[in-house]
Structure 1
Amino acid sequence: MFWCDPFWTNRVSNVILADRLPGSHRNFAATSDFAIMDTAQLNSLLRQKLEADLRSGLTHIPRAAKKVELQVESGTDDTVPPSAAVESNIPQSVEVQKTVAPTPQQEMRSEPVSPVIQPTTPTTLNLPGDEDLARMSSKERQKQLNIVAEEVSRCTRCKELAETRSQTVFGVGDPNAGILFIGEAPGADEDAQGEPFVGRAGKLLTKIIEACHLRREDIYICNILKCRPPGNRNPSDAEACNCREYLDAQIKLVDPDYIVCWGSVAAKNLLQTQQPIGKMRQTFFSYGRAKVACTYHPSYLLRNPPAKKDVWEDMKWLFSDMKIDL
C-alpha cells in the first residue's frame, strides 16, 4: 500500500501519462487537458500511476516531489549518474569470470543474509545433470537454451497470453555468463522484437551495463514471464507459476555467479518475498549457488531520474563483491 503526500496528490492535475497505461515504457508530460477532466478521471490516472510505481519497487512518495516532476517532464535525462562516466584511462571492458570453487574468503563474503531459497518448481524439461552441465561449453549450453526456447514458443499454459502475444521473448546474452539479469515481463517493444529490454527502459539498462565496463552480450538477460501481459499489466501469480520452470531452466543452464533482479516483480517472484525493493537493496540473497542482488527497474528510473544514483550505488556495491572497482 502506498503512502501518498497530500501535496503530491494535489499536483496530479499537472501530470498525465503520455504513453500506454500501465506498463514498463511510460512517460509523464504536462498537459492542459486536465482542466476539463472530472474527479473520477483524475483519480483513475492517479491510481494507474501509483500502480506503475508499485511494480517498479516504490513504496512511498517523497514530500519533495515537485523537483522530481520537473526533471521528469523535461524528458531529456536518460543518462546514468555522472559518477558512472567512463574515464579515458579506464578499460572499456571488464571480464567477469565464473567461479569454479570459492576461496575461504569468498565463502565468507557469500554467506547469505537471508535463508537460502532453493528452486522447488517441478520441471517437465529434460535438462542435463549438474556433472554434465559443468563440462558443457558455451556452444553446448546455448544449444540447450535453444531447446527450452523452442518449448516456450509452443507454450499455451496461459490462455490469455498465448492468444494476445506476437511472439514469446525468451532471453539473450552469454550462455556462460557470470551475471544474469531478470526483469518482469516483455513490453510492446519486446513483444515486437522478441528480445528482452529493447525499449526505452532497455536502452537505459544498456547504458548502465556499459558504465560497468561490460557489454549486453557479456550478461544473460531474461524476464519472469516470456509473454507480454495485455496492457503491460503485472504478471499474475498463476502466470508466474506457469512460466517458472522456464526461468529455472535458464538459471540452471547459464549457472551464473550473480543474479540481479530489476524491480519488485522480479525480486518477489524469484525469491518468494513481499519485501519492498528499498529494503532489499545492497543485501545478498541466495538462489541455488548464485548470489542475488535487487534494485529498481529501469522504467522507474525513467520516471524518477534522481533514483539513478541509487542504482549506480547498487552497481558499485555489487561489483565490489567481484573485486571490481567502478
Structure 2
Amino acid sequence: MSQDVMPSATGLPQRRELTTKPRFSDKVFRGIVTTGGLSSLLLLGLIFAFLAYQGFSILKMEKFSFITGSQWQVVLNDSGAIDKANTAFGIAPMLVGTILCAIIALVVAVPVSVLAALFLTFYAPPALKRFLVAIIDLMAAFPSILFGLWGFFILMPSAEYWAKLLHKYFGWFPAFKMEVPIFTRSPFVAGVVLAIMVIPIVTSISREVFAQTPLDRVQAAYALGASRWSMIRAVVLPYGRSGVVGGAMLGLGRAMGETVAVYTVLNIVYQVNWHVLVGAGGSVASMILLKFGEAGAQEVKALMAAGLVLFLLTLIVNSIANAIVAKSGGKGR
C-alpha cells in the first residue's frame, strides 16, 4: 500500500491518499511465486501423464488383476514375441510388502518421534535443543543409500536378534509365526531402516505442532497445579493429536516410496508374505529397481503401470496428511 503526500499552497500537507494498487516489486514477487507454484503442479501432472501413457496398455490388458494378481511373468513365443495369453503382470505381493514395511516403520517411528518432539519442546535446554534440531534436520537430508548401507552392515545383526526374541515370545501371533527360521533381510529389518528415515519427518512436524499449543492453556494448567507431564497429557497431546497423525501419514508416504534402502536390506521374493520376520518380501519401488535393467519393452510398460499405482497411492496418502495437518493448524485439535 503506497501513501502519497503532496504539499499545498499554504505549506501544510494535504490529506493523504490511500491506495491498494500494488507496487512493481510486489507484482514481480507475486509473479515469481505464482510461476513456482504452477510449475510444481505442471511437473506433477507431466509425471502422471507420462506414467499413465506408458502403462495404459498394461492396465487395459490386465484390468483389476494388475493390482490383485500375484504373478509377474513374461512368456515369449517361438518367434520371440510376447505371448499375451500366458504373460501376466500382477503387483499384489509387492503392494503387500510395501504396506507391511511402511506399517512396521510407523509402529517404530511414531512413538520415538513424539517423545523426541516433546523433549525438544518442553524439556531440552536451548543450546541442546538447537544442536538436536540441526541433527534431525540433517538426518532428513541424508541420501537413502547411506541408510541402506548402515542398515545392512550395522543394524541387521541387532535387528535379527530382536526378530528372534519376537519369534520366541510372540510366535503365537500370526505375523510373527515362522515356518522357516530365516531372519536375514526380512520386512522387519526393512521396516526398522525405514523407521530411522521417517523419524526426522515426524519429529519435525510434531515439534512444530506442539510449539503452537496456546500459551493460555498451558498457563491455565500450571495455575491449577498440574506438573509439566500432567500439562503435556491434558493440553499438549490433545491439541497436537491431529498434527501428529498428519506427520505420521507424511512419513508413511515417504516409507512407501522408498527404493534404494529397502532394496539394500530386503530379500526380494515375488510372493505374498504377511510374516514380518521371514526373510522374503519386497516393495513396488524395489521391484521396479530390480527388474528395470533387464526388462523388455512390454515389461517396461508394466513397470510404468506399477509406478503409476505407487504414485497415486503416495499422492493420496500425502493429500490426506496435508488435510489433517491443515485442520490441526486451523482448529488446534
Instruction: Answer with 1 or 2: which has the greater Rg.
Output: 2
Q: Normalized against structure 1, the TM-score is what?
A: 0.26
